[in-house]
A and B are shown apart, each in its own frame.
Chain A
Amino acid sequence: MGIGVTSEVNAQRIRKYLAEGKRFDGRKPEQFRELIIEKDVSKKAEGSVRVRLGKTEVIVGVKLDVGEPYPDSQDKGNLMVTAEILPMSSERVELGPPKFDAIELGRVIDRGIRESKIIDLQKLCIEEGEKVWTVYIDIYTINDDGNLFDAAGIGALAALKVAKVPKYDEETVKANYEERTGEIPLNKVNPIPITIHKIGDNFIVDPTREEEDISETRLTIGISDGVISSMQKGNSRPLKVDEIMKAVDVANSAWKDIFKNLEKLLK
């Protein structure tokens, strides 16, 4: 991510195409690439998926473990979301400690899941004040061809839906991973982050890396059936009020398509 890697020639051409409502790969501005979801790609996880949006690919895994509740939520389970942008996923990733983009990715996905209240954390309490389940959602990027946010968010939702909760062993006070019985208690919301990018005067969704490079501003909207539960505006170019309203409309209709797709792919 970041401006200046896509050549000026390509940047100009992308803008020119967009002005006519066209994109290099033949998509419409508000159209996603093909979504592919593979389930149970890592069988030691309680739930795992490999999500592909075009050439962008992420693996998301859910693990559950028995832990202690936080002081301010004694009767609720815990949620932790992390993301690693692996150096494998692009020639631009530098070695070393997590950079801002990985931290932001983890935090934006965390808020989308947490604030939508999709996980019924109260049902993940084993013994109030003593033992609760901690749900870990860990995201690994395999190939970055743009729009890691939405791919990771779709992956997080899908992994939660396919996950199985291990049995709680009262004698050892630990999780028994040999016996995974129930499903994670989920409420009837389906938060998916949809990121809208502004290039010139045009809005697009699901950018390739080339398009993402020249995006001037982005707005990630965590949405479920018209209800917004998280937002993050990235980059410094401002947005007008009516542009934000338009972005919400775009996100809402994109959500409908993706959710329909997701349900079909998870069957």
Chain B
Amino acid sequence: MVTKNYTRSDGRKNDELRSPIIAKIGVVPNADGSAQFQIGKTIAIAAVYGPRKMHPQHSQNPEKGTLRCTYNMNSFSVEERIRPGPSRRSTEISKITEWALEPAVMLENYPNQVVDVHINIIQADAGTRCAGINAAAMALAHAGIPMKDLVSSISVGKIDKTLVLDLDKYEDSIFDEGEGSTDIPITMTPAGELTHIQLDGKITKEQLKEVIEMAGKACKQIYEIQKKALKNAIDLNGGKK
């Protein structure tokens, strides 16, 4: 069976983000900066420690600081329990997250030091790496790490022949009709540069262009939410009323 015009099971428009989108700042008191990002049923927490001296010494970079990310999924965040601890998947996503964030972070001032970003997925319903990156960008800003700007991340998908924004679990991995499901997580700077793109499925060049345009618009929406949460969390009056 081929679905010519895919209709979303949750009634969303094709270019509509999931709701609710909730951004919270300062959720881990011990950390230098932290944030929580929820989109639909996916919830990520990120905590930043540093800059601090890099150990072991042979990992130090005398040219600039190192950004080190760890992505971890709670065993009970998905329907069928996953084994706690790192996996091949989480190892790859950790590195992808580093690459997605690094262009925004000014590490030049911190030779031989490390900025640690720890991401924990509390509840997973697809798009966890994007939610993790969105939380991490806010946490880095909250920690006062100098940044050129934030980055924002979203997944675009192709369900059979229809392009849709922000796949949920069903659209990401269960849908299996016609051309099936293609998942394209993308991270962008507000200037529209891509710091991260991955793709699983199949797509033409023309469609890919459309995908990136959709992602660009969505990232702008997310950027505004991230910025607003950070502004609300920071006392701009220096404690004075």
Q: Chain A nearest CB: distance from B196 CB in Å?
A: 21
A143 at the interface (CB under 8 A from B): yes
Q: Chain A nearest CB: distance from B228 CB in Å?
A: 24
Q: Is the CB–CB distance between A42 and B76 below 8 Å?
A: yes
Q: Chain A nearest CB: distance from B72 CB in Å?
A: 7
Q: Is the CB–CB distance between B84 and A84 below 8 Å?
A: yes
Q: Which residues of A contact B30 (CB under 8 A)?
A: 55, 89-91, 143-145
Q: Is the CB–CB distance between B74 and A42 below 8 Å?
A: yes
The residues in A between 110 and 161 inclusive whose CB is less than 8 angstroms from any CB of B are 136, 138, 140, 142-145
Q: Chain A nearest CB: distance from B226 CB in Å?
A: 19
Q: Is the CB–CB distance between B29 and A143 below 8 Å?
A: yes
Partner of A88, one of B31, B41, B81, B84: B31
Q: Which residues of A contact B52 (CB under 8 A)?
A: 91
The residues in A between 34 and 52 inclusive whose CB is less than 8 angstroms from any CB of B are 41-46, 48
Most buried by A among B46, B74, B76, B116: B76
A contact patch SS: mixed
Q: Is the CB–CB distance between A82 and B47 below 8 Å?
A: no
A87 at the interface (CB under 8 A from B): yes
Q: Is the CB–CB distance between B81 and A142 below 8 Å?
A: no
Q: Chain A nearest CB: distance from B1 CB in Å?
A: 23
Q: Known contacts being A62-B76, A138-B76, A138-B84, is A44 close to B123, with CB within 8 Å?
A: yes
B contact patch SS: loop
Partner of B118, one of A59, A86, A177: A86
B120 at the interface (CB under 8 A from A): yes
Bound CA span A53–B27, Å: 14
B75 at the interface (CB under 8 A from A): yes
B117 nearest in chain A by CB position: A88
Q: Is the CB–CB distance between B123 and A42 below 8 Å?
A: yes
Q: Which residues of B contact A61 (CB under 8 A)?
A: 74-77
Q: Is the CB–CB distance between B45 and A43 below 8 Å?
A: no
B74 nearest in chain A by CB position: A140
Q: Which residues of A contact B27 (CB under 8 A)?
A: 142
Q: Mark each residue of chain A from 172 to 199: 1 if its CB lies under 8 Å from any CB of chain B, else 0.
A: 0000010000000000000000000000
Q: Which residues of A contact B70 (CB under 8 A)?
A: 87, 95
Chain A contact-residue range equals: 20 to 34
Partner of B120, one of A55, A62, A86: A86
Q: Known contacts being A88-B28, A142-B45, is A98 close to B76, with CB within 8 Å?
A: no
Q: Is the CB–CB distance between B118 and A45 below 8 Å?
A: no
B83 nearest in chain A by CB position: A82
Chain B contact-residue range equals: 20 to 34
Q: Which residues of B contact A45 (CB under 8 A)?
A: 76-77
B78 at the interface (CB under 8 A from A): yes
Q: Which residues of A contact B49 (CB under 8 A)?
A: 87, 91
Q: Is the CB–CB distance between B124 and A142 below 8 Å?
A: no
Q: Chain A nearest CB: distance from B195 CB in Å?
A: 23
Q: Is the CB–CB distance between B77 and A145 below 8 Å?
A: no
A86 nearest in chain B by CB position: B120
B78 nearest in chain A by CB position: A44
Q: Which residues of A contact B28 (CB under 8 A)?
A: 57, 88-89, 142-143
Bound CA span A41–B27, Å: 14
Bound CA span A130–B45, Å: 40
Bound CA span A65–B75, Å: 13
A218 at the interface (CB under 8 A from B): no
B55 nearest in chain A by CB position: A94
Q: Is the CB–CB distance between B29 and A59 below 8 Å?
A: no
Q: Known contacts being A143-B29, A145-B29, is A41 close to B122, with CB within 8 Å?
A: yes
B206 at the interface (CB under 8 A from A): no
Bound CA span A46–B80, Å: 10
Q: Is the CB–CB distance between A44 and B72 below 8 Å?
A: no
Partner of B116, one of A55, A87, A98: A87
Q: Chain A nearest CB: distance from B140 CB in Å?
A: 14
Q: Chain B nearest CB: distance from A179 CB in Å?
A: 12
Q: Which residues of A contact B118 (CB under 8 A)?
A: 86-88
B72 nearest in chain A by CB position: A86
The residues in B between 32 and 74 inclusive whose CB is less than 8 angstroms from any CB of A are 34, 41, 43, 45-47, 49, 52, 68, 70, 72, 74
Given A90-B30, A145-B30, A177-B80, 4 additional A-B pairs, CB 8 A: A42-B76, A45-B76, A61-B77, A86-B118
Supply 10 A–B pairs (Cβ within 8 Å), ascending by A: A44-B77, A44-B78, A44-B125, A63-B76, A63-B81, A86-B72, A88-B28, A88-B34, A95-B68, A138-B74
Q: Which 3 A-B pairs have the closest CB atoms?
A: A61-B76, A45-B76, A88-B118
